[in-house]
Amino acid sequence: MDVIEAHGARIPVLGFGTMTLKEDLCVELVEAALQLGYRHLDTAQMYGNEREVGQGLRDSLRGSGLKREDVFVTTKVWFNRLALGDFERSVDESLEKLGLPWVDLLMIHWPNAQIPLAESIASLCKVKKQGLAKNIGVANFNIAMIEEATTLASEPIAALQIEAQPYLDQTKVIGVARKHGMAVVGYCPLARGKVPADETLGKIGRAHGKTASQVALRFLEQHGIVPIPRTSKRERLAENLGSLDFTLTEAEMAEIGKLKRPDGRIVSPPQAPQWD
């Protein structure tokens, strides 16, 4: 699988998002994803499934010829654990649950207006220096926060994770992330079920023998964004991988680009910053 490089991080261009997956189903799907060819797993302490993701990874490595270094694992620190000391404890807990000595990417999951950014960025950089994370990143930051974080950080911030799907215009924040050399990882790439029924995406998909979902993922991939679709169905794992073996034309990319709309954002919880 191709990778996107950013400040030394090598992030596989398609990931498997695990939010809401629990217990045996999570273990089975992580193992199935890696068997199918995924090399990028995305979890978070808040998802409550790090133990299962780690188990699925170990089950897949056993006897497969895959090595730990072949799989890019991301986890995140929840916004209520960003204070000095609590941040580090959160990371230790995540690694214990995952059963790993380090993760490939550790992220601040959401900003917290009650905790100075300088404090949480210092903790993020400290964890990297200790070797507990190979790379660090931030999620759900607005432009001002990205600018401040990169100024404060003593280690390079390798990635920004944001909502990225065909109905949401993230051009400004992506531009700032790229100015600082960050990779962009996109969650909710299928817009929580809106994409499969989209007529425009379906029409373009038929021209390529692909589904609307595969088209939406390919749209992001061709924009250099790493989508991390979540699914609870094994057949969807294979379908999502099918986004990697075709190319949308410039005209098709432009047509999909017109799907953006002012109310396109899906995820905006109470802790969200002022969006750009």
Give the model's confidence band at 275: pLDDT under 50 very low, under 70 low, under 90 confident, else very high: very high
Residues in the chain: 276
Count Cα neighbours of 67 within 13 Å in the Cβ-side half-sphere: 2
Q: Which of 251, 258, 247 is nearest to 198 (CA)?
A: 258
Quote the pLDDT of residue 63: 78
Q: Write out pLDDT tens, residues 93-117.
A: 999 999 999 999 999 999 999 999 9
Range with the poorest average pLDDT among 10-14, 60-64, 81-85, 266-270:
60-64
Mean pLDDT of the chain: 97
Q: Write out pLDDT tens, residues 126-172.
A: 999 999 999 999 999 999 999 999 999 999 999 999 999 999 999 99
- Decide: 255 and 123 in contact? Cβ < 8 Å: no
Q: Could you list the active site residues?
A: 47
Whether the predicted pLDDT of 65 surpasses 90: no
Whether the predicted pLDDT of 229 surpasses 90: yes
Quote the pLDDT of residue 222: 98
Q: Which of 50, 46, 48 is nearest to 82 (CA)?
A: 46
Quote the pLDDT of residue 62: 92
Quote the pLDDT of residue 97: 98
Whether the predicted pLDDT of 178 surpasses 90: yes
Three-state DSSP class for residue 186: strand
Give percent of the chain with pLDDT exceeding 70: 100
Rg (CA), the chain: 18
pTM (two decimals): 0.97
Q: Write out pLDDT tens, residues 18-55.
A: 999 999 999 999 999 999 999 999 999 999 999 999 99
195-203: average pLDDT: 98
Give the model's confidence band at 64: pLDDT under 50 very low, under 70 low, under 90 confident, else very high: confident
Residue type, 121: I
